[in-house]
A = this chain, B = another copy of it.
Amino acid sequence: MEKVCLIGAGSTKYGKLEDSITDIALQASVDAIESAGIGPKEIQAGYISNVFGIADKQVHLGPVIMSNLGIPEVPSLSIESACGSGSVSFREAYANVAAGFYDVVLATGVEKVTHTGTEWTTTYFSYCSDFFYEGGAGASFPGLFASMARAYLSEFKATEEDLAMVAVKNHDNGLLNPKAHLRKKITIDDVMKSAVVASPLKLYDCCPFSDGASAVILCSEKFAKAHTKNYVEVIGSGRGGSPAALQGRDHITTIPSTRIAAQAAYKMAGISPKDVDFAEVHDCFTIAELVDTEDLGFFEKGKAVEAVREGRTKLNGDISINPSGGLKSKGHPIGATGIGQVAEVFDQLTGKAGDRTVKDAQIGLTHNFGATGASCAVHIFKSV
């Protein structure tokens, strides 16, 4: 098995974008290619992650992107795994390079939905749930995560203010990220006073609908070494699944797929959670970050809330969680999110993260799931 490395990354700003889905995918792809210091013709395959290309009237995105990059003959495909599409696509790109099928590949994630309006988006996003049991029964994602939040608050004596602290922290980080969607300082009071979306979750507990694209270049270690000294190594990769509908799970304050994926990734990397310097985790709602950081083994069950209260997950705390601002502040263009996390890790570990740099970081982790965690992938990276 070949060692797989990252040599480049790029992203558009996340937010409400005017350009087409193809254009923003290309902007991120070109950024990544230029960041890697290679030419498009060195790319041997394209892995695209996207969920609702139909919103901008373009599915089958791979050939369109490859053609516009001037490499129409290069094979490509689109991968969908709901909000976890990016990390799952990254995993396929990783696997193909690790196996030696390709030497250099482009992984681009993209989503363009804000122009469709909230009703379209909420309705179509609900098709990512187990629609027979969930979306079709009226349970949209805010409602499902609200159920998880209610159970967590009850089981672990946490408060709505605790949830709010996650949002405040991630907005603080996002303020330092020029490409973040919601660059706005907020207070606990702001969160508490924001409109109730699905009790106990309020508007500021929820990530936004975002447009955006991110891209990274993966390659063999041999190729990386020949091209640059400033690259990042993929040292762990794991995937897992959970019962698709929340009602099929024994507990709803933990996500099985995260645990399965993380265990596999830690095992491959030969590290334990305490070795991780920072992590980009799937905080689609504030409650998710608490659950994630426990399932990833950073904290014991029910203890993430203490860590947040004590500021231990802040930028340059014990473990920096979501230095980019996370889905909450950086934004959540669903097909792009998992790739954007990897781009953040690349920037962090190659000295390109500016004001939000996690000091002396050597190991970064990405965690990205689909729906309420029905699918999940975890990746671990190391600076060289």
Residues of chain A touching chain B, judged by Cβ–Cβ distance below 8 Å, are: 1, 20, 22, 45, 51-54, 57-60, 62-64, 66-67, 71-82, 88, 92, 95-96, 98-101, 124, 127-132, 135-136, 239-245, 248, 256-257, 260-261, 370-371, 374-375, 377
A254 vs chain B, min Cβ distance (A): 13
If over half of A's interface residues share one DSSP class (helix, strand or loop), that class is named, otherwise mixed; here it is: mixed
Q: Which of A81, A92, A242, A374 has the most CB of B within 10 A?
A: A81
A370 touches B63 (CB 8 A): yes
- The answer for the CA separation of A260 and B73 in the assembled complex, in Å, is 8
B77 close to A375 (CB less than 8 A): yes
CB neighbours of A67 from chain B (8 A): 130, 241, 243-245, 248, 374
A20 to B1, CA, bound (A): 41
When the two chains form the complex, which single residue of B59, B81, B101 contacts A128, counting CB atoms closer than 8 Å?
A: B59
A300 CB to nearest chain B CB (Å): 22
Tell me whether A77 and B63 are in contact (CB under 8 A): no
- Contact between A22 and B127 (Cβ–Cβ < 8 Å)? no
**Residue in B63, B72, B92 whose beta carbon sits within 8 Å of that of A371 in the complex:** B63
Q: For A239, what are the chain B residues with a Cβ–Cβ distance below 8 Å?
A: 45, 75
Selected A-B contacts with CB under 8 Å, 10 pairs = A51-B59, A57-B135, A58-B131, A60-B80, A75-B375, A76-B241, A77-B81, A77-B375, A78-B79, A95-B96
- State how many copies of this chain the complex holds: 2
A72 B244 Cβ-Cβ under 8 A: yes
Query: Which 10 A-B pairs give the minimum distances between C-beta atoms?
Result: A99-B99, A63-B374, A75-B239, A60-B82, A63-B244, A72-B243, A67-B244, A60-B128, A78-B80, A64-B244
Partner of A98, one of B52, B99, B256: B99
What B residues does A82 contact at CB under 8 A? 59-60
User: Which residues of chain B have C-beta atoms less than 8 A from A92's C-beta?
Assistant: 77, 92
The residue that A375 contacts in the complex, of B71, B76, B128, B261, with Cβ under 8 A, is B76
Interface contact A60-B135, CB-CB below 8 Å = no
Residues of B within 8 A of A131 (CB): 57-58
Q: In the bound complex, how far is the Cα of B135 from the Cα of A45, in angstroms?
A: 25
Interface contact B53-A127, CB-CB below 8 Å: yes
B residues in contact with A124, CB < 8 Å? 54
Contact of A60 among B1, B53, B98, B375 (CB under 8 A): B375
B62 and A375 contacting across the interface, CB-CB below 8 Å = yes
A78 to B370, CA, bound (A): 12
Q: Are the CB atoms of B60 and A371 closer together than 8 Å?
A: yes
A81 contacts B62, CB within 8 Å? Answer: yes
Q: Which residues of B contact A375 (CB under 8 A)?
A: 60, 62-63, 75-77
**B78–A81 contact, CB under 8 A?**
yes
Given contacts A82-B60, A375-B60, contact A256 B99 (CB under 8 A): no
Q: Whole-angstrom distance from the CB of A231 to the nearest CB of chain B?
A: 22
Q: How far is the CA of A374 from the CA of B72 in the complex (A)?
A: 8
> Are A88 and B77 also in contact (CB < 8 A) when A370-B63, A375-B62 are?
yes
* Chain B residue, CB-CB nearest to A371: B60
Q: What residues on B are CB-neighbors of A52 within 8 Å?
A: 54
